[in-house]
Amino acid sequence: MAYISRPARSAPAAAALSPAGFSLGVLLLRLMLGIIMVAHGTQKLFGWFDGPGLDGTAKGFEAWGYPAPEAMAVVAGLSETLGGAGLFLGLLTPLAAAAVLGTMVNALGVTWEGGFLLPKGVEFTLLVAVSAAALALTGPGRYAADAYLPVVRHHRLSYGVAAIALALVVGAVFLLIRD
């Protein structure tokens, strides 16, 4: 019996066949990434979940050569907490993804020499960064607060590209101002 190949469907056509499946998949990614980032941010801000709190986080930023380490600790904690909350809710998703991605750019910049695999590697940080970028590009799906906001109700690829560019530029600026 001969194998008969079928023509491959393009990605947009495949997504159009199951918008509910796409939106549910994006929802799961948003929820999990959002929870993880809120937890990491509140570790930095408040010391929750056995985190270092602002003082401990500031000491880390000082060791990595950032100026104003206390301010950097607040910026990182707020970026992770608010970015994670935005992803969880699907609220201003491209900007929320940019907040997470910008923070991960810095995390990658200061930990890259630890190798790829954990415990000192960058695999988890890279996964978070790529997930945030993917959500910026795809949008939040239909099960999101953005679906009720007039400006972002219909996600456009340009929103995601702009958010990624913003995250990369701001992340790079913060890396460059280190001692």
Instruction: Please write the tens of the pLDDT for every residue from 32-62.
Output: 999 999 999 999 999 999 999 999 999 999 9
pTM: 0.88
What confidence score (pLDDT) does residue 72 get?
Answer: 97
Is there a domain that residue 9 lies in? Answer: no
d(CA 138, CA 22) in angstroms, rounded, equals: 10
d(CA 174, CA 68) in angstroms, rounded, equals: 11
Measured torsion, CA atoms of residues 101, 106, 111, 116, in degrees rounded to the nearest 10: 30
pLDDT at residue 76 greater than cutoff 70: yes
Exposed (0-12), middle (13-18) or buried (19+): which is 142, by Cβ within 10 Å? middle
What confidence score (pLDDT) does residue 118 get?
Answer: 83
Is there a domain that residue 62 lies in? Answer: yes
Is there a domain that residue 137 lies in? Answer: yes
Instruction: Give the pLDDT band of residue 15 (cuts 50, 70, 90).
Output: very low
Report the percentage of the chain scoring pLDDT > 70.
91
Count the domains in the chain. Answer: 1
Is there a domain that residue 143 lies in? Answer: yes
What confidence score (pLDDT) does residue 111 get?
Answer: 92
Q: Of residues 10 and 149, which shows the higher confidence score?
A: 149
Is there a domain that residue 14 lies in? Answer: no
- Which residues are CB-contacts of 168 (< 8 A; sequence separation ≥ 6)? 101, 102, 105
Q: Of residues 167 and 120, which shows the higher confidence score?
A: 167
What confidence score (pLDDT) does residue 154 get?
Answer: 85
Is there a domain that residue 2 lies in? Answer: no
What confidence score (pLDDT) does residue 16 get?
Answer: 54
Is there a domain that residue 11 lies in? Answer: no
Is there a domain that residue 63 lies in? Answer: yes
| Residue 115: domain span | 21-176
pLDDT at residue 129 greater than cutoff 50: yes
Q: Of residues 145 and 19, which shows the higher confidence score?
A: 145
- Which residues are CB-contacts of 61 (< 8 A; sequence separation ≥ 6)? 69, 72, 73, 76
